[in-house]
Amino acid sequence: MIPETRRWNEPHRLVLMAIAIAIVLFAAYNMRWDWLPRYSGKLVSGVGTTLWLLFLTSVLGFLLAVPLGLAQAAGPVWLSAPARAFCTVIRGTPLLLQLWLLYYGLGSLFAYWPEIRQSWAWPYLRSAWPYGVLALTMSFAGYEGEVMRGAFAGVPKGELEAARAYGMSPWTSFRRIWLPRAIHRALPTLAGETVLQLKATPLVATITVVDVYAIISRVRQDTYLTYEPLLLLALIYMLLTGVLVLAFRWLEAKVPVKGG
Amino acid sequence: MFDWIAGLAAWELLALEPPGWGGVLLKGLAVSLQVAVGGYLLGFLIGVGGATGKLYGGPILRDLLDVYTTLVRAVPELVLILLLYYAGTDALNQIMILFGAERVDISGLAAGIFVIGVVQGAYQTEVLRGAFKAVPHGETEAARAYGMSPLQVLRRITLPGMLPHAVPGLSNLWLIATKDTALLAVVGVAELTLVTRQAGGTTKSYFLFFCAAGLLYLMVTLLSNVVIRRIERYARRGMPAVR
């Protein structure tokens, strides 16, 4: 097998980079970018919405994934069966369908209920944001719950027995040993799941949440351009993915791996 | 107040004959499955080529393949589908005009297969590359030392050796392919998710139809899992059990 020693300044790479730069310059000069200044403010706020959505749903989803994983790994059957069913359904159907089921389906059901229509919650339930957050949170919880199940089950029995032998109550040993060890084991998958979650966020634009994808869609409608806005959008998501990957690499370097 | 329960249980809307929408949903499911199978197979071809290129190709080819897999995996599928859908149909029309032919209308089905195939190709390249590399070097060397031709080495050693490493990743990608077809609803391909929304919009029974479509997707996943488990057992025969 060919050894994987590669440097950035090998001759063929310099040529490839020159070609790439030429393509970018060609695109910059020959395509239409005059709409960019008009929409730059909206684009920034759209990116902000996307990132906020990503952060919120990942954190909420992870908080939900811990009990889901625990119920499947160690719960009695009346807890583990529903948890397993939840993960199977979430992982077995497309996110777009779940999103539309919640927004159109649940939204139209709520409309039948006069009690809900007259309550304080109605203005929120009529907007798209809660449904987008709910769908993305459940999706993250479903996928990560499966990971946490494996992580909880994979913590060596001896460590838990040692905790009991030291006289820790079940709750203390869970808090001090089981949960931290399980999270530690699940950490490497977290980066990948978060990138997948970032790539799932543009779906909420189909239910009128105004994220960066929705802004670009509006640019396409206003200017009748096909490629320029989409290429910019792809570039934005590539940058966000890159930053996310680097951030997680930094985070993983901070977490001690001794004995892991 | 209890109108919604009546709306929820309007089972006659799911009838297969035209006043009901069951037949339309099943037709949508058929389109989804066609796109998934076609895209998956196209992705497999790209994946085999890509993995071979990444392992045995020259430096330029390897770098270009790295760019391909990195770009596709860093951009949301939804954005890729839009880009490739427009770019693909545009490029094909340009080529047709270049050769003096008429503009063609590309069917949503073919465009969908192309798009899913390109996306799947990037992921399958990585899975297959990893599986290739998991076959111990000594085994292929031993086979060569016994005088096997490269094709025999591939058939007798490399393929059976890589299969158990490739099956989990590839089966995961199949499940992703079936679910990614739903994204084609955004570009107007009449697959299951889009026809479900149309059915819901016409009858106002969104909840009923989305639940029905969800069950159909779930059945595809569960049936796939049964088949996958069988393939996995075959691929891992003679190896110690995991889990």
Better-predicted residue by pLDDT, B170 or A188: B170
The pTM assigned to this predicted structure is 0.88
Q: Which of A47, A84, A100 to probe by mutation at the B interface, max B CB count within 10 Å? A: A100
Return the pLDDT at A117: 72
Percent of chain B whose pLDDT exceeds 70: 91
Separation in Å, CA B168 to CA A189, A194, B10, B178: 16, 21, 41, 16
- Chain A environment of B206 (Cβ under 8 Å): 100-101, 104-105, 107-108
Q: How confident is residue A216, by pLDDT bands cut at 50, 70 and 90?
A: very high
Mean pLDDT across the stretch A52-79?
93
The encoded tokens of residue B239 equal: 């190896």
Q: What is the pLDDT of residue A260?
A: 45
- What lies within 8 Å, CB to CB, of A248 at 6+ separation is A190, A191, A194
A135-161: pLDDT as tens digits? 999 999 999 999 999 999 989 989 999
Q: Do A93 and B179 touch (CB under 8 A)?
A: yes
Q: What is the pLDDT of residues B7-57, one digit of tens each?
A: 556 666 666 666 677 888 899 999 999 999 999 999 999 999 999 999 888
Q: How many CA atoms lie within 13 A of B189 on its CB side?
A: 30
Chain A: closest CA distance from residue B4 (Å) = 6
Q: Given A92, A106, A241, which is nearest B217 (Cβ)? A: A92
Find out whether B104 and B96 touch, Cβ atoms under 8 Å: yes
Q: What is the pLDDT of residues A188-197, one digit of tens each?
A: 888 889 999 9
Q: What is the least distance, in Å, from the CA of A52 to any CA of chain B? A: 17
B168 reaches A (C-beta below 8 A): no
Q: Is residue B133 less than 8 Å (CB to CB) from chain A?
A: yes
Residues of A within 8 A of B82 (CB-CB) are 230
List B residues 15-44 in contact with A (Cβ-Cβ < 8 A). Answer: none
pLDDT tens, residue by residue, A71-116 = 998 888 999 999 999 999 999 999 999 999 999 888 777 777 777 7
Q: Is B138 on the interface with A (CB under 8 A)?
A: no
**Which residue in B60, B197, B204 is closest to A16 by CB distance?**
B60
What ipTM score was computed for the predicted complex, to two decimals?
0.86
Q: Does B80 touch chain A (CB under 8 A)?
A: yes
Question: Cβ B179–A89 below 8 Å, yes or no?
Answer: no
* % of chain B surpassing 90 pLDDT: 46
Which residue of chain A is at minimal alpha-carbon distance from B197?
A100
Mutation site for A-interface testing, chosen from B32, B33, B84, B179 by largest number of A Cβ within 10 Å: B179
How close A147 comes to chain B (CA, Å)?
A: 14
Q: Do B217 and A213 touch (CB under 8 A)?
A: no
Q: What percent of chain A is predicted at pLDDT more than 90?
A: 51
**In A, which residues are within 8 Å of B86 by CB distance?**
226-227, 230
Find the mean pLDDT for residues A54-62: 95
Alpha-carbon distances, residue B204 vs B9, B29, B168 (angstroms) = 13, 21, 41
Measure Cα distances from B65 to A241, B33, B71, B86 in Å: 19, 28, 10, 22
